A and B are shown apart, each in its own frame.
Chain A
Amino acid sequence: MCLAVPGRVLDIEERDGTRMATVDFGGVVKEVCLEYLPDLQVGEYAIVHVGFALQRLDEESARQTLELFAELGMLQEEFGDPWEMAAKEAGTDPLEEVRNP
């Protein structure tokens, strides 16, 4: 969880008095709070941590980092299903409760 992942701003809107953006992380799209980078614009890149944009990043280094993360499976760790991963670690089958409710 200490990973901060670069993403590209697709869209910006105000919600409940808070500046929010839709951000694309190499295919995974998430809602991101822009309160700490209020002048970030659509099309720009930022490093995002637990749903908050924390610092601007230039396009080239963002792209490189994303490619590397994808290659290393780190995006799966960051955005994958935590229950499934926890179940795997616990040695139980995550689908069991679905199959035998």
Chain B
Amino acid sequence: MKYIDEFQDPELARRLLDDIHATVTRPWALMEVCGGQTHSIIRHGLDQLLPEQVELIHGPGCPVCVTPLEVIDKALEIASRPGVIFCSFGDMLRVPGTGRDLFQVRGEGGDVRVVYSPLDALLIAQRNPDREVVFFGIGFETTAPPNAMTVHQARRLGIGNFSMLVSHVRVPPAIEAIMSSPSCRVQGFLAAGHVCSVMGVEEYPELAERFRVPIVVTGFEPLDILEGVRRAVRQLERGEHTVDNAYARAVRPEGNPAARAMLEDVFEVTDRAWRGIGVIPDSGWRLSPKYRDHDAEHRFAVDGIRTAEPAECRSGEVLQGLLKPHECEAFGTLCTPRTPLGATMVSSEGACAAYYLYRRLDLPATTTVREASPVV
């Protein structure tokens, strides 16, 4: 247990680990859904502290990674148009579309601006009434309510030059798709805590029951993750499969009702393509007809853009837990954070980047991985 001194409460970490070690009798595969959890796990070497029988599989919970290539291409197209101010969260800047990224569009003269909050983009629209301001609305259930509120405000305040390119995704249909795959090895889930802060836990009992899989709502600090693993392993060893909330300090069973109501008003459920995975039915949101005026896809007529992903990139398998990043042939050679082929490498929350940055390579010593300076 070489890294244990780094824990905020090493004594508690040790107790949780001892309990897990004492409980496990057989191999189990758990999937952590959230990219923040993946990073915490790799950064702290949690997978190495756990008993060998407990395998952690990285899930698709990185919004930057799963945003489909064609949505990035739509964003690049809109951002290049004259008169447009294109606003985005910072971590989308280096996500590759076909041939380039938003960072390069800005270098070519596009007015691309980084905002911390979608409300900042709305403010930019208010201050630039003669320009078209577009916000790139991506993310899971945690990010969707802020974006929903922003579109709602734009309509309420009559800000006609504001629109949003929406590509939101939902976790439960992804869990369903993962469990329905014939090659699925996942036996338990660590559900994403902040998604549940908004949505509560009501969507999960049906999934836990249907697939006979424990779902433990988990935060993403190292101790939270150990506690999530501990509870999931306990259930598995006892043959149970219930929904358990191990992140009660931030997750109420009903989530945030005001946010959920706003989501229902502004968005409607739709099929969504996930980068590398393909279309998952009902797995996303788009603006509901009432807000069509603020839909950038219609306003800029980019709904026709179709794009294929690079053939070498296996991020789809990585995102579904079928392949570890370093098992991809391009890992660390053709594909690095500086020359990313897939979004799981470019996003600092992606599994490929996490393996690369924290040197979790398990690679032969000759492999060329030295060129990189860590992104963080």
Binding site for B on A (CB under 8 A): 1-4, 16-18, 30-31, 33, 35-38, 47, 49-52, 54-55, 57-58, 61, 64-65, 67-68, 72-73, 76-77, 79, 82-83, 85-91
Give min CB distance, B277 to chain A, whole Å. Answer: 17
Interface pick from B57-65, B278-286, B296-304, B311-319: B57-65
CB distance from B357 to the nearest CB of A (A): 11
- CB-based contact A36/B256 at 8 Å: yes
From B8, B90, B221, contact of A86 by CB (8 A): B90
Q: B267: shortest Cβ distance to chain A, in Å?
A: 15
Provide the main secondary structure of the chain A interface.
mixed
Q: How many A-B residue pairs have CB under 8 A?
A: 129
- Roughly how many angstroms separate A4 CA and B156 CA in the complex, as a whole number? 27
Which B residues are CB-close (under 8 A) to A36?
145, 149, 256, 258-259, 262
Pull 16 A–B residue pairs with CB atoms less than 8 Å apart, ordered by A: A1-B90, A2-B34, A2-B142, A2-B194, A4-B197, A4-B250, A36-B149, A37-B258, A49-B146, A52-B117, A54-B142, A64-B8, A68-B221, A76-B376, A89-B94, A89-B337
Q: Counting CB contacts under 8 A, is B28 at the interface? A: no
Encode contact with A along B116-160: 1 for CB under 8 Å, 0 otherwise.
Answer: 111110000000000000000001101101100100010011000
Flag if B258 contacts A85 (CB, 8 Å). no
In chain B, positions 315-359 with a C-beta closer than 8 Å to chain A are: 337-338, 346, 348-349
B149–A33 touching, CB < 8 Å: yes
B91 touching A54 by the CB < 8 A rule? no
B110 within 8 A of A: no
How far, in angstroms, from A61 to B337 measured CA to CA in the complex? Answer: 33
